[in-house]
Copies of this chain bind each other. A is one copy, B any other.
């Protein structure tokens, strides 16, 4: 059995191999669209796009929520909500270490999305 259960199994978001040829090459199948669209949707909010970039560009590959929250003029719960959205879209992982929670980007799905948009 493959490592990622719970997914439609047609698309492994962590796979190194692209799931589909680029958008401009051939039509994205409905099943692939159903899995990939939520990821784009998660990036479709200015706050989440910035959060994602702060996480992905963190010097040590990870960043504390305590460093993310004060970077925006939004309440803690709102930032937490956006982070949950990114998590559920499969874009990031969260890990609690002691008092703080650290977020880390999942490179696989980023590659999938980039490959889909590449010419």
Q: Given that A37-B45, A37-B46 are contacting pairs, would A56 and B114 also be in contact in the complex, using a CB cutoff of 8 Å?
A: no
Contact between chains at B40 and A49 (CB < 8 Å): yes
A41 contact set on B, CB distance < 8 A: 40-41, 43-45
Show the binding face of A for B, using Cβ within 8 Å: 23-28, 30, 33-34, 36-50, 52-54, 56-57, 105, 107, 110-111, 113-114, 117-119
Residue of B nearest to A47 (CB): B33
What's the nearest-Cβ distance from chain B to residue A62, in Å?
13
When A44-B37, A44-B43, A114-B119 are in contact, do A105 and B24 touch as well, CB less than 8 Å?
Answer: yes
A110 to B40, CA, bound (A): 13
Judge whether B24 and A49 touch: CB under 8 Å: no
CB distance from A111 to the nearest CB of B (A): 7
Q: Is A56 a contact of B107 with CB atoms below 8 Å?
A: no
- Is A23 touching B57 in the complex (CB atoms < 8 A)? yes
A56 to B44, CA, bound (A): 20
A27-B42 CB under 8 A given contacts A114-B114, A118-B114, A119-B110: no
Inter-chain contacts of A46 with B (CB < 8 A): 30, 33-34, 37
